[in-house]
Amino acid sequence: MSGRALGHRIDERITLHYDTLPPQERRAADMLLAQLDDLATYRAAELASLAGVSKATMSRLFRSLGFADFDEVRDHLRGLRTAGEPRRTDGAPSLSGHAESEGEAIRYVLESAPIPEAVRLLAGAERILVVGWRNSYPVALHLREQLAQIHPSVSVGPQPGQTIGEELAGIGGADVVVAVGFRRRPAGFSAFVGEALRTGAAVIVFADPTGSAYLARATVPLECPVQGELAFDSYAAAMSLVSALADGVLESRGREARERASAIASAYDRLTEVE
């Protein structure tokens, strides 16, 4: 097989080599594409039967695509899921199994994360900058919204249509930068963490285990698992951690935080902004 396809996803490999495949292997390839989301839930013999080809033909197709056998295909698909691509690798999960997995992730985070250290930094910061891109942005925004109720200077970035460099201008040793970087992070995340550290500010990093390199560089690392029983990542543990941090900051800042929260609630009432 041409080395060009090595490292490509299985569907990309099929596209690269489709025109050169014999008719029977092409037929099997069509079936693989049709069953791609659930491919790892089948056995090789079942796939051959679905395609209407022999097991030998299916084996030849796997080799044509650069895989030694179907076990290697399964490993490939699990690797895609680990990298954050939505894909089922173990069959359709039950909702009860999903709920159990979510509960375990939340317990793990709340019991293992250095929450007191993060609360101390956030409560004592002069300014807080929370940053997140793509699927990390909702977590960053939620953290900002919670902290803004009880802290006078909390911002989130990047704002729509804006870059992030200007957000770091003026950040210094009395401040805290929270970098939220779950998997499928933008390529510039590492550079941002480095730049945030260079400001002298404390840097709190939210990340899943694939962000271990960034967690290791953080002043306070907050590791949150995101992979559960379903095909798509879950941020239940991260959102629960946000609530725990905000609650801790409220307690730590005491009367000042409570008065700010009350003042904001009164403004809501006067402006009729919320029900």
State pLDDT tens for residues 122-140: 999 999 999 999 889 999 9
CA 17, chain centre distance (Å): 32
67 and 118 inside one domain:
no
Q: How far apart are CA 110 and CA 115, in angstroms?
A: 8
* Residue span of the structural domain in which 37 resides: 3-82
pLDDT winner (highest mean) among 52-66, 116-130, 165-179: 116-130
Domain boundary among 47, 82, 117: 82
Q: Evaluate whether residue 173 is within a structural domain.
A: yes
Q: Are residues 109 and 230 in the same domain?
A: yes
Q: Is the pLDDT of residue 1 over 90?
A: no
Q: Contact, 21 vs 29, CB < 8 A?
A: yes
Q: How many domains does the chain have?
A: 2
Read off the pLDDT of each residue in 30-35 and give the average, rounded to a whole number.
81
Inside any domain, residue 90: no
Measured CA to CA, the distance from residue 85 to residue 183 in angstroms comes to 10
The chain-wide mean pLDDT, for the chain, equals: 84
Q: Is 46 among the domain residues?
A: yes
Whether residue 44 contacts residue 53, with contact meaning beta carbons closer than 8 Å, is answered with no
- Residue 103 has a pLDDT of 84
Give the residue from 55, 82, 109 where a domain finishes: 82
Please check whether residue 213 lies inside any domain of the structure: yes
Q: Are 36 and 137 found together in one domain?
A: no
Q: Where do runs of H (alpha helix) occur along 83-172?
A: 95-112, 115-124, 137-148, 165-168
Domain co-membership, 62 together with 190 = no
Same domain for 172 and 40, yes or no, is: no
**Domain-ending residue, one of 27, 59, 82:** 82
67 and 203 co-located in one domain: no
> What percent of the chain clears pLDDT 70, i.e. is strictly above it?
88
For residues 100 and 66, membership in a common domain is answered with no
pLDDT value for 2: 38
pTM, entire model: 0.67
Rounded to whole angstroms, how far apart are CA atoms 255 and 140? Answer: 25
Tell whether 57 and 141 lie within a shared domain. Answer: no
75 is a domain residue: yes
What mean pLDDT do residues 11-32 have?
86
- Residues 246, 151 share a domain: yes
User: Same domain for 250 and 139?
Assistant: yes
Asked whether residue 209 is domain-assigned, the answer is yes
